[in-house]
Amino acid sequence: MKAYLTRRYRFSASHRLHSDGMSDTENSITYGKCNNPYGHGHNYTLEVTVSGHVEPETGMVCNLVDLDGFVEREVLEIFDHQNLNTLAQFSELVPTTENLSTAIYDILQRGFSKAHLEKVRLEETMMNSFEYAGGGEIRR
């Protein structure tokens, strides 16, 4: 039996949306108040969805201790309370939440092998959330 597990995590980070390839005016028009030179912060909610067969012995898709430990070590410790603009992942990318979702997905895809990674969902505000499934179609 295949089942899905979604686990929720929280972290805080700041960023400034600014592209070096655009003029200050273009950046201001494109990113509005998110182009503030001093940046701004968010309290993000990250949802990680994995899938797999329910192991008869444990009754689980994967052990939450394994998933929590990996996400804490490889995602939260990197991004929590950071200015995303200063991180290597965003040296050539605008640190939008779309790009952050992709970066987190890639970290999980490369390193978490205890279950199949389906998608990540990153909530930036009450009004904005972003999902990424590694280029695969997200079904609703």
Q: Is the pLDDT of residue 94 over 60?
A: yes
CA distance to 91, 98, 122, per residue, from 82 (Å): 14, 17, 16
The pLDDT confidence band at residue 139, using thresholds 50, 70 and 90, is: low
- Residues 6 or more apart whose CB falls under 8 angstroms from that of 4 comprise 49, 50, 51, 61, 118
Residues 6+ apart with CB under 8 A from 135: none
**Would you kindly state where each structural domain of the chain is located, as residue ranges?**
2-132
Q: How high is the mean pLDDT of the chain?
A: 95
Query: Which range, of 10-19, 62-71, 76-85, 131-140, averages the lowest pLDDT?
Result: 131-140
For the entire predicted model, the pTM comes to: 0.94
DSSP 3-state of 104 = helix
Residue 4 tokens read as 């899905």
CATH annotation of 2-132: 3.30.479.10
pLDDT of residue 135: 81
Beta bridge pairs of residue 103: none
Catalytic residues: 34, 81, 124
* Mean pLDDT in residue range 87-96: 96
Beta pairing partners, 117 = 50
Q: Does 105 score more than 60 pLDDT?
A: yes
